[in-house]
Amino acid sequence: MTIRVFLVDDQALVRAGFSMLLSAQDDMVVVGEAADGAEAVATLAHTSVDVVLMDVRMPRMDGVAATRELVTGMGERAPRILVLTTFDLDEYVFAALGAGASGFLLKDARPEELLSAIRSVAAGDAVLAPSATRRLLTQVSRSLPQGDRPSPGKALSQLTSREQEVLVQVAGGLTNGEIAAALFMAESTVKTHISSLLSKLGCRDRVGLVLAAFRAGLVTPD
Residue 1 has pLDDT above 90, yes or no: no
Residues paired with 3 in a beta bridge: 28
Q: What is the mean pLDDT of residues 122-138?
A: 66
Low-confidence winner among 50-54, 141-145, 156-160, 192-196 (lowest mean pLDDT): 141-145
Same fold, 3-127 and 136-215: no
Check: CB of residue 186 under 8 Å from CB of residue 156: no
How far apart are the C-alpha atoms of 119 and 123, rounded to whole Å? Answer: 6
Residues paired with 54 in a beta bridge: 8, 83
- 136-215 classified as CATH 1.10.10.10: yes
Q: What percent of the chain has pLDDT over 70?
A: 82
Residue 96 has pLDDT above 80, yes or no: no
CATH tag, 3-127: 3.40.50.2300
**Side-chain half-sphere of 1: how many Cα atoms within 13 Å?**
11
pTM for the predicted model, two decimal places: 0.69
For the chain, count helices (H), then strands (E): 11, 5
**C-alpha distance across the termini of the chain, in Å:** 38
Residue 151 has pLDDT above 50, yes or no: no
Mean of the per-residue pLDDT values of the chain: 82
Q: Kindly give the residue spans of alpha helices, DSSP state H, lying in the chain.
A: 12-23, 37-44, 63-74, 91-99, 111-122, 130-143, 154-157, 161-171, 176-183, 187-201, 206-215
Check: CB of residue 83 under 8 Å from CB of residue 56: yes
Q: What is the mean pLDDT of residues 94-102?
A: 76
Domain boundaries, the chain: 3-127, 136-215
